[in-house]
Chains A and B, each alone.
Chain A
Amino acid sequence: MGQRKIALTKRLRKAAGNFADKSKFALLGYRSLLSSWTYALLSLLFALIFLYILTQLQEGGYSWGLLWSGLPAARKIGIFWDSWLLIGNCFTSLGGLSLVLLAIMQALALSGIIYALRHRQKEQALNTASTGGIASILAFVTLGCPTCGLSLLTPILTMFAGTGAVAMAEQLGWFLTGVAFLLLIYTIVQLGYIIFVDMSAAKTAKKEEHAKSN
């Protein structure tokens, strides 16, 4: 029993060490990726779009509902503009900052997927993308205000738990947000590593080509 425990601890330590090493390479990979202005701009754009979607879901899609109403077009333009301004509120609270972090992570994951897809790493990219996709769904459904029952998760849980759904949504929401963050970290590390390996290989190939031509 004791030996099994020691073996398990050793394996866990080894896995943690490997993940830490991979994370370092992933950071280098993303640093190289974002030094390209195209990917930096793309990531910024994705982060803004994700943040917009997240803030809207946080408000229960309130502004989107108004855009589908019979209000005059001029007012709808104002509503649409105001809904973008909501992003600014994210920087005033801890909960809002967690949305910003979530949006940045989702944007990095998406940029990484695009890079991997464009550089013939389709198999690995799509496998990692599905993990990122699950993380994004979890992040999206946990949004809202469970205090008032306004959570995307609540109507789903209501089908199974009746009025207890709101309490459940609040507790489950925090748990799922945590899981979403962990899955996103995993996705980013995997993609960052793919990018690092691909970019290093490309650099080496270029060097060899250069040496041959000389």
Chain B
Amino acid sequence: MQRAIRIIALVLAIGFFGFLVVSAMVSSNNNAREVWNEAMTLGDRETAKHYYYDYTDIMCPYCDKFANAVAAHQEEFERDYIQDKNIFFEVRLTDILYVYHKDEHEGAINSRNAALNAYCAADQGYFWEYYHGILAKLYADYHSKGIGVDQYSEHIPKLEDSYFRSVAKEIDSLDYDRYKSCVINEDKADELDKNTQRAAKITPSGVPYFVFDKYTTNGFLGKWDAENYDWEQAKILLDAGLSK
């Protein structure tokens, strides 16, 4: 009798955990066709056949693997996917890691600072330049050295404001003073907070979260090899969205 109760309890426990995991992972995407920030999009929303959304955080290593792979093949990505397959693509940038980890380590603030800087660059229409710039810088300074690459590695320390601004300085036609004022005054904080809250509801399992048409998935399988392996993985993901 006792044995039977034990076995039933075990089966119920497995079922309960399974149900919770599956129900939490299968979340609806009601506001999919709404644009969160026009500057963070590629493609024509009105005529697109496919709608792709990438919920991300600049300080999330798995998000960065995907973004770096796409950035390394930007021309091919825009030609073969955005244009040929008529895809509307939006990066939905959040500071979700700051929200999750702000009480744990001081480096968590990097997530918010990076996002605020990117939103301020986006305000002038230079999101992609900033986004690719900061990702390349983070890779060169930290990820390529094994820092901040996963949950087992050393955290990236709290970065100075100048670290994030140095990327914007490299963008020739950007109005740097206007951008700097936007960052210092946190002009985009409300927009960022709103988007992060929306993302947290859509993706309870964290970022990266990809909604590629009807195909949705969490995570990304990369090896920090943007040129080859990671791009092949990114293409599989992009194609999965087209084929369903």
Contact = CB atoms under 8 A, between A and B. Distances in A.
B154 to A, nearest CB: 12
Nearest to B108: A167
B218 interface: yes
B13 A134 contact: yes
Given A152-B21, A154-B204, A163-B99, A69 B221 contact: no
A158 B104 contact: no
Contact of B62 (A133, A145, A156): A145
Closest 10 CB pairs of A and B: A149-B206, A155-B24, A70-B243, A166-B100, A70-B244, A69-B240, A60-B219, A95-B152, A147-B151, A150-B206
A84 B227 CA distance: 22
Interface stretch (B3-11, B74-82, B113-121, B161-169): B3-11
A93 B152 contact: yes
A159 interface: yes
Interface in B13-68: 13-14, 17, 20-21, 23-25, 57, 60-63
Contacts of A6: none
Nearest to B197: A163
A1 interface: no
Interface in A149-171: 149-152, 154-156, 158-159, 163-167, 170
A145 B149 CA distance: 11
Contacts of A130: 6-7, 9-10
Highest count of chain A CB atoms <10 Å: which of B23, B151, B239: B151
B20 A156 contact: yes
Interface in B182-237: 200, 203-208, 215, 217-221, 236-237
B217 to A, nearest CB: 5
A149 B17 contact: no
Given A65-B217, A70-B244, A166-B100, A75 B63 contact: no
Interface in B95-136: 96-97, 99-101, 103-104
Contacts of A145: 62, 150-151, 206, 219
Contacts of A134: 10, 13
Given A72-B243, A148-B57, A148-B97, A127 B3 contact: yes
A71 interface: yes
Nearest to B218: A60
B236 A66 contact: yes
Given A149-B207, A150-B62, A150-B219, 14 more contacts: A62-B217, A62-B221, A66-B236, A95-B151, A126-B7, A134-B10, A141-B17, A147-B61, A149-B100, A150-B206, A154-B205, A156-B20, A167-B104, A170-B151
A36 B62 CA distance: 44
17 contacts: A62-B217, A62-B221, A65-B215, A66-B237, A71-B243, A72-B243, A75-B239, A93-B150, A93-B152, A148-B60, A148-B206, A148-B208, A150-B207, A151-B206, A156-B20, A159-B20, A167-B104
B236 A94 contact: no
A137 B11 CA distance: 11
B69 to A, nearest CB: 15
A154 B239 contact: no
Highest count of chain B CB atoms <10 Å: which of A65, A82, A164: A65
Interface in A65-92: 65-66, 69-72, 75, 79, 82, 86
